[in-house]
Amino acid sequence: MQPPRCCLLLHLHLHLLLYLLLLSGIQADLEGSFTLRLLQTSTFQNNSFVDTEGLGLLEDIELGSLDKHTWTIHFYQPWVRPALPRGDWDTIENMIKIYLQKFNHLINKGAMQKDVPYPFVAQCMAGCEVYPNRTSRAFAYVGYNGQDFLSFNMDNATWLLSQDTKLSRYVQAVLQNYTAFTELVEVLFNDTCVDDIEVLLHYGKAALERQELPIATVFSRTPKPDQLLLVCRVTGFYPRPISVAWLPLLPSGAAVGEEWRKCPRGLLHLAVKLLLPPCQLLSAAPQGLLYGVPMSHPPLISESTNRWRNQSPGTPS
């Protein structure tokens, strides 16, 4: 049996995309860390039908995807396609179609030999992250039916088990013995990734530097008759770092305390909740309860605060 190429298409996508965008000498004057990811999801319904999806991301920016019906590239950003002439993109699409045919054939062949039940899903994520000092970290992960399956150690070029099963050990052994595949992964992510991301950062500089103000929606719920749950949902903000918190406010409007909920990188929204116990509702001042949701975000000139008040204990306004 030939080695199953569970992630070969993903790595091919990355190699092709980076090759298209690689123009020596171009650098982007951007600060911070940036991550390039290529995602692949292949759903094997049976041994004759496979639904394949692919997506390329620079941070949260979708660069392009693979049409699951025609296996052609759809460009999502106007600054991606102009990197190469139309004829070069056509050649790349033809190469992708050839690899997809081989990919589906090899996976189905291996599944039948190992009695893998249909349907099943193979997922791959690979890419690299570059840091402000130009050091980098490359990664490659394989998933099977929504579970972590394998990962690739770039330092010693070995495949590591994420779950210890007969199937994962079998795939690990095949990939480890597939020298050409291992060399491909090493070259793509350890040797060229930093320069390639710099080119992407050059073309996508305006998109990465955009600033969008957060939109906050405040509302309340009653999980129990004697409880009040305050919820603040924050959406639409960019860049991703943002801090949000529920804080009690003094009559003067000054916030008490400095406990923040920070939004991890990569999330598109953040919900901050505060559950008020019965004792706090009953001991509320005559003028009611007053809580604020201060937000700290780069596009905000100063800290912004959304407020919630109820005029009588347990009754939101």
* CATH code of 305's domain: 2.60.40.10
Same domain, 177 and 61: yes
C-alpha 309/C-alpha 137 separation (Å) is: 47
Alpha helices by DSSP H, the chain? 8-21, 86-113, 166-177, 179-186, 193-203, 205-208, 278-282
Task: Decide: 122 and 144 in contact? Cβ < 8 Å.
Answer: yes
pLDDT tens per residue across all 317 residues of the chain: 444 444 544 444 455 444 444 444 445 567 788 998 989 899 999 988 999 999 989 988 898 999 988 988 899 999 888 766 677 778 767 777 776 777 777 778 778 888 999 999 999 898 889 888 878 888 989 899 999 999 989 888 888 999 998 888 888 887 787 776 667 667 666 766 666 677 778 888 888 888 887 777 877 778 777 777 777 777 777 776 777 776 665 454 443 443 344 444 444 445 555 555 554 444 444 444 555 565 665 655 444 445 455 544 444 44
Same domain, 191 and 285: no
Same domain, 156 and 220: no
Q: Is residue 249 part of a domain?
A: yes
Same domain, 185 and 236: no
Mark which of 156, 191, 208 sits at the end of a domain.
208
Burial group, residue 53, by CB count within 10 angstroms (0-12, 13-18, 19+): middle
Same domain, 105 and 74: yes
Residue 246: give the domain boundaries.
215-310
CA torsion, points 201, 204, 210, 215, in degrees to nearest 10? -110
* Residue found by looking up tokens 């045919």 in the block: 101
CA torsion, points 101, 107, 113, 114, in degrees to nearest 10? -170
Mark which of 163, 185, 208 sits at the end of a domain.
208
Q: Is residue 88 part of a domain?
A: yes
Distance in Å from the first CA to the final CA of the chain: 68
Same domain, 188 and 231: no
Q: Is residue 26 part of a domain?
A: yes
Residues 6+ apart with CB under 8 A from 228: 220, 221, 222, 275, 276, 281, 310, 314, 316
Q: How many domains does the chain have?
A: 2
Same domain, 167 and 43: yes
Same domain, 194 and 219: no
C-alpha 302/C-alpha 268 separation (Å) is: 22
Reported pTM: 0.66
Assign residue 33 the CATH number of its domain.
3.30.500.10
Same domain, 95 and 183: yes
SS3 172: helix
Q: Is residue 2 part of a domain?
A: no
CA distances from 75 to 54, 131, 282, 310 (A): 12, 26, 57, 49
Mark which of 179, 208, 237 sits at the end of a domain.
208
Q: What are phi and psi of 299, to 5 degrees?
A: -65, -20
CA torsion, points 158, 162, 164, 166, in degrees to nearest 10? -70
Q: Is residue 229 part of a domain?
A: yes
Task: Decide: 137 and 128 in contact? Cβ < 8 Å.
Answer: yes
